[in-house]
Structure 1
Amino acid sequence: CTAIAEASNSAGSTSSCVMMRNMTEMDAPLSTPCNIQICEVTCDSFRIMWDMTPEDTARATHFFIDLSRKESRDPNRFKHRDVPTKLVAKAVPLPMAVRGHWFLSPRTEYCVAVQTAVRQPDGDYLVSEWSQVVEFCTGDYAMEHLQQLLDKAKGSAGRLLKFSVFYRNQHPSYFDNVRSECGGVMRPALKDSSGSHGSPINGKLHGVFFSCNTEFDTGLPPKDSPYGPLRFQIPAGHLLNPKISLYFADFYCMYTAYHYVVLVLAPVGSEGDTFCRTRLPMLDLASNPFLTYTAPQRPGEEPLYCHASEVILEVLFTDPVPLDQGGVELISGHHQLMSLTTANAKKDPSCKVCNISVGR
């Protein structure tokens, strides 16, 4: 009996020691996550990983991730260490994919920090210190996202109308500068940030913008313009022909009922063509809802050029355009309709017609 009692006491003592050791390990501080790495960044997702000790890796039950836009002065860290107010994710093997939780916007700078945590029996969390803050920027729309945007734009294009010229309105100072400083050639300028924030051409592709929309009743360019009283007109065939690649780049509105479609015309094999080929959906010149070229069917016939009737087309031509290929004349209408200008205009993020689910 004495031996049994001694064995029992010994087992109880051992069990108590194990329990005490386990409790001590559970209560031991977690090390601060370090060497934060961001990879596989898209317009609405990223993967994140960091270094942890083997002991922390074995016992961590949750990760806390705090994400904020870089421009925010208050990163809004957890107010209470045991009450997470940001994303709480169950611990998984790293790197961990993060998407859909904050509706990330394309081409936007963010700050991110992480904590590791152990959920305790009473429901509270034992947490590490915050890691260092890491900054990163989300990417442009991928081809699949632009295809979604293209599909939406097709529904708004309307029927095709004939046109014969591309045109560009500016103030006299612009054309004076082209003649005196640029040898009479309109040189490509960097695309601004107007339209969809994730469009791959914003701030990256150079070109000269043209319009081609016509008035429904006359079939001619409108008499009014928000860009200036002088209009450069060039025969459509100079910019739209079989030696040109046509791309879809954007679809947006600016809190208005009408929508804009941005198209890119790039001479085949040019620098602009190379840029667009892997970034933008290519359109068939003869068969698309926005801008078409139809070759002559019989000898002596002229090509047919058509534009969409229910959207405003903004056509970016990626090569220089000499003034002597067309003519400059004074328009007869108004030219102070500044509400229609699109320079750095922001897309309406609430419009159900022209937005897709991956950001604005």
Structure 2
Amino acid sequence: MTAMNAPLSTPCNIKICEVTCDSFRIMWDMTPEDSARATHYFIDLSRKENRDPNRFKHRDVPTKLVAKAVPLPMAVRGHWFLSPRTEYCVSIQTAVKQPDGDYLVSEWSQVVEFCTGDYAMEHLQQLLDKAKGSAGRLLKFSVFYRNQHPEYFDFVRRECGGLMRPALKDNSGSHGSPINGKLHGVFFSCNTEFDTGLPPKDSPYGPLRFQISAGHLLNPNICLYFADFYCMYTAYHYVVLVLAPVGTEGDAFCRSRLPMLDLTSNPFLTYAAPQRQGEEPVYCHASDVILEVLFAGPVHLDQGAVQQISGHHQLMSLTTADAKKDPSCKVCNISVGR
């Protein structure tokens, strides 16, 4: 048996590093002899939940990707359109291409599992740039509001002393948003109807509405962050913003992960200080997107009022809880994994 035809050792000690939302670097151990003669790597990558133990039916046929042998660690990006926050499993074969075009291959390595990351700041900036194009003109508003069922407000009064405590953000919207499943807050709306300038009469979240003066949540002691832009197979789009009191835990979390917006000048939600004595601040919201505003702190019912809405609340199925983003929408998707 010639050196070229000698069996290749099985890749071992696989390590994954520098993982982002859509890329990673991979390395493994090979003998010096194999390193010198390997011409290609065969890489099999699949989502963990879809892993099939019999996926390597033909051990000498590359199942996913053939890459020319390069010094390790090797960067892997773009080939599979990796999704953020997704568990994957990967296995490696090394190979030597023969003069007749066939490959001499090693055994498949052990399967290694890893999880991709959240959107980085650069990805969120891409998403923010897209959201700016859909925001529309600014409209004045005066209150933030939160609709829920009577049971929710009864629980807040009975068990929480009237304090609406921050809850963990669900996984709705873009899968890579850094706040999903990590940031606590209380969601509010502020969109108004064109004809009245008031909150809409209907709500998919429940028949009772808590209203609070805009100034309680939006003022110079608050930092404003952009967190997401998405749709759910519909013509209208959602923008998720975070209002975090300066210096709080929520503010510290957002500062390193989300683009900060200027309170007085941005396309989504603005605060304008009074220009003259006796005047009130002016608050404005974007007209052509639905704003979901996460206040990263507790809010007491005594700061506002709970009232019955005048319209008919709609089915809960119309809410956005854990709703999945439309991956095919050209308006709200960016060039990295969904």
Shorter-chain TM-score bucket reads over 0.9
- Displacement of 1:76 in angstroms is 6.2
Show CA shifts across 1:213-243 (max 9, x none). 0000000000000000000000000000000
- Displacement of 1:328 in angstroms is 0.3
- Assess if the C-alpha contact under 8 Å between 2:59 and 2:107 holds in 1: no
- Displacement of 1:75 in angstroms is 5.5
- Assess if the C-alpha contact under 8 Å between 1:248 and 1:262 holds in 2: yes
Larger helix fraction of residues: 1
Which residue in the other structure is 2:249 paired with? Answer: 271
- Assess if the C-alpha contact under 8 Å between 1:160 and 1:309 holds in 2: yes
TM-score normalized by the length of structure 1: 0.93
- Displacement of 1:85 in angstroms is 2.7
Greater radius of gyration (CA): 1
- Assess if the C-alpha contact under 8 Å between 1:48 and 1:96 holds in 2: yes
Residues 75 and 289 from structure 1, CA distance in 2 versus in 1: closer, same or farther, beyond 3 angstroms?
A: farther
**1:1-12 correspondence to structure 2 within 5 Å:** none
- Displacement of 1:337 in angstroms is 3.9
Mapped partners of 1:354, 1:126: distance in 2: 45
- Displacement of 1:82 in angstroms is 3.1
Determine which of 101, 111, 116 is the counterpart of 2:94. Answer: 116
Unpaired runs of 5+ in structure 1? 1-22
- Displacement of 1:74 in angstroms is 1.4
Mapped partners of 1:314, 1:50: distance in 2: 45
- Assess if the C-alpha contact under 8 Å between 2:83 and 2:116 holds in 1: yes
Show CA shifts across 1:183-228 (max 9, x none). 1100000000000000000000000000000000000000000000
Mapped partners of 2:21, 2:198: distance in 1: 40
Three-state SS of the structure 1 residue aligned to 2:127 is helix
- Assess if the C-alpha contact under 8 Å between 1:167 and 1:231 holds in 2: yes
- Assess if the C-alpha contact under 8 Å between 1:247 and 1:282 holds in 2: yes
Aligned structure 1 segments of 4 or more residues deviating by more than 4 angstroms: none
Mapped partners of 1:289, 1:27: distance in 2: 65
Identify which range, 158-167 or 82-91, moves more after superposition: 82-91
- Assess if the C-alpha contact under 8 Å between 1:248 and 1:263 holds in 2: yes
- Displacement of 1:28 in angstroms is 0.6
Q: Percent identity?
A: 91
- Displacement of 1:78 in angstroms is 3.9
TM-score normalized by the length of structure 2: 0.99
- Assess if the C-alpha contact under 8 Å between 1:194 and 1:202 holds in 2: yes
- Assess if the C-alpha contact under 8 Å between 1:286 and 1:293 holds in 2: yes
Which residue in the other structure is 2:317 paired with? Answer: 339
Count of aligned residue pairs for this structure pair: 338
How large is the Cα RMSD of the aligned pairs?
0.9
Unpaired runs of 5+ in structure 2? none
Which residue in the other structure is 1:195 paired with? Answer: 173
Mapped partners of 2:27, 2:55: distance in 1: 19
